Every structure is written in structure tokens, then in C-alpha cells.
Amino acid sequence: MAEHRVVCWDCGADVDDPYVSTCPKCGGLLSVTMDLEPVKEMKPQDLRKEMIGVWRYAPFMPVDPAHKVSIQEGGTPLYDTRRLADNIGVSKAYVKFEGLNPTGSFKDRGMTVGVSRAKELGAKVVGCASTGNTSASLAAYAAKADMKCAVFLPSGKVAAGKLAQALFYGAKVLSVDGNFDEALDLVRKMAD
Ligand SMILES: [Zn+2]
């Protein structure tokens, strides 16, 4: 695990409280700043000793792998797309098939880290506002971690297949009479 600081994107303040999602001083968005000095000596072959996937890069993450919640995300195939390369005038073009992640989207890459961090902090419930892929992904990782999951959806703006996924994984799905931002506000209030 890399040492890290959480800093405000807007005012630059250090944020020590791990339970806030925005800057307590100015309400700005937060970013994670990693201290990568200890991993500077690592070589690609050191990483290749680990199974392919997101957790191969654990030394670069702000979470202790002892709390890892993983369903083998990442390591998706790369397709050599010769005609696409010709069309856009480059010698090689590869396309990564992120639909082969466990819940069918790239969201699983971030979610494995986020839910692992939640587990590290002792969270019993996780939640999100989403119209699709995020809710399916969070619900799956919550199920894997034996946490409860609440999904807030703006009513009428939801991908039905994704909603079914969240339900199958056991999430509590709440339809919000409002837009995405209002659903997100509710999630933040619930978290508080
Ligand atoms: Zn701030």
C-alpha cells in the first residue's frame, strides 16, 4: 500500500477525516495524492509476478490489500484492430474489452478499490447514486464483502438490465423523484 494524502482539489486543504466525500472547508472535490517514492525502484517484471488484474498494482493503491474485496476485475483482453488503425492513420490500434469485467463494465476497476477501502474503514453499508453501471458494480462488490448496499436511482432514467443486476446482487434500490444530482445529494445525506 502506498502512503497517501487526501487533499481538496479547490483549496488544497489536507483532509484527514476518511468519512467525508467533499472538502469540509470549501465543499470542493477531493483527490488522493500518493507518495510513490517507495515504489520508484519497482520494475514491470516485479508486478508481473502477481496475477493479472487490478490488484497487481496494489503497491500503488491507497488501501491495504489485507482488506481486498475482489472478483477478479481487470486484465481484460486487448484486441488488435487493424482496420481501425488504418482508418485513423496509426500503425497499431488496440481496443480493450472492458465489458469482460465481472459486472460488465470498467466501473469494477474503481469499485474493487473503493469497496476495499470501505471495508478497511469498517463500513457495514455502502451506497451510490447511479443510472446503471455503477449501481450494478457496487451491488456486486457489496455482496462479495457481505455489506448492505443502497442504490439511489433518478426515477425513469435507468437502464433496466443494470437495475436487474443490482437487485439480483441484493441491493436495496430506491427510486428518487428527481434528477441524478438530487439522488446524489440523498446519498451524501444518508452517509452523513
Ligand atoms: Zn477545500
Q: 36 lies in a domain? A: yes
**C-alpha to C-alpha distance for 128 and 151, rounded to whole angstroms:** 5
How many angstroms is it from 169 CA to the middle of ligand 1? 36
Residue % of the chain over a pLDDT of 70: 99
pLDDT of residue 38: 80
**C-alpha to C-alpha distance for 169 and 136, rounded to whole angstroms:** 8
Q: 48 lies in a domain? A: no
How many angstroms is it from 117 CA to the middle of ligand 1? 22
Ion ligand 1: residues, CB < 5 A: 8, 10-11, 13, 23, 25-26, 28
pLDDT of residue 35: 87
How many angstroms is it from 162 CA to the middle of ligand 1? 34
Which pTM was predicted?
0.90
Whether pLDDT at 142 is above 90: yes
**C-alpha to C-alpha distance for 20 and 26, rounded to whole angstroms:** 12
Whether pLDDT at 112 is above 90: yes
Q: 20 lies in a domain? A: yes
Q: 127 lies in a domain? A: no
Exposure of 138 by Cβ count < 10 A (0-12 exposed, 13-18 middle, 19+ buried)?
A: buried
Instruction: Phi first, then psi: give them for residue 153, nearest 5 degrees.
Output: -115, 135
Whether pLDDT at 72 is above 90: yes
pLDDT of residue 160: 80
Q: 107 lies in a domain? A: no
- Give the domain range for residue 14: 1-41
DSSP SS3 for 177: coil
pLDDT of residue 40: 87
Total number of domains constituting the chain: 1
Q: 154 lies in a domain? A: no
Q: 153 lies in a domain? A: no
Q: 17 lies in a domain? A: yes
